């Protein structure tokens, strides 16, 4: 089954403790992206990757890192999480940047 898998689905952690949210897709997609969703603000793009070793900033990249060492994986790294990064995060992939996105089920992060 074609899917985008995010882990963990839920995480409560404390300020400053590094965390990684993994994202994996099994559709051989070149394009992958991370978004955060906050009430009243819709979805905002954090980072995207057009292909392996090619990443670029979205609208809200501050406080986040990403890497794209393999085509199927695109982890989101929070080196020193802060409470303002409490949010619902989505990973998505597509064949190319302009094509429809396939979304994961989301990761709800709470930073205390």
- Residues of the shown chain interacting with another protein in the complex, contacts defined by CB under 8 A: 4, 31, 33, 35, 40-45, 48-50, 56, 58-59, 88, 90, 92, 96-106
In the complex, the smallest distance separating the C-beta of residue 48 from another protein, rounded to whole angstroms, is 5
Tokens 């979805």, located at residue: 43
In the complex, the smallest distance separating the C-beta of residue 97 from another protein, rounded to whole angstroms, is 4
Residues 19-48: b if buried by 16+ CB within 10 A, e if exposed: bebebbbeeebbbbbbbbeeeeeeeebbbb
Nearer to another protein among residue 59 and residue 70 (C-beta): 59
- How crowded is residue 99: how many other Cβ atoms within 10 Å of its Cβ? 12
In the complex, the smallest distance separating the C-beta of residue 77 from another protein, rounded to whole angstroms, is 19
């Amino acid at each position: 089954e074609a899917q985008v898998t995010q882990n963990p689905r839920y995480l409560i952690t404390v300020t400053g403790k590094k965390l990684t949210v993994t994202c994996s897709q099994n559709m051989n997609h070149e394009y992958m992206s991370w978004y955060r969703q906050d009430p009243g603000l819709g979805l905002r793009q954090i980072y995207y990757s057009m292909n392996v070793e090619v990443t670029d900033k979205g609208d809200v990249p501050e406080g986040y890192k990403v890497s794209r060492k393999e085509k199927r994986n695109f982890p989101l790294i929070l080196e020193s999480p802060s409470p303002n990064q409490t949010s619902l995060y989505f990973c998505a992939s597509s064949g190319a940047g302009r094509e429809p996105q396939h979304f994961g089920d989301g990761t709800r992060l709470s930073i205390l």
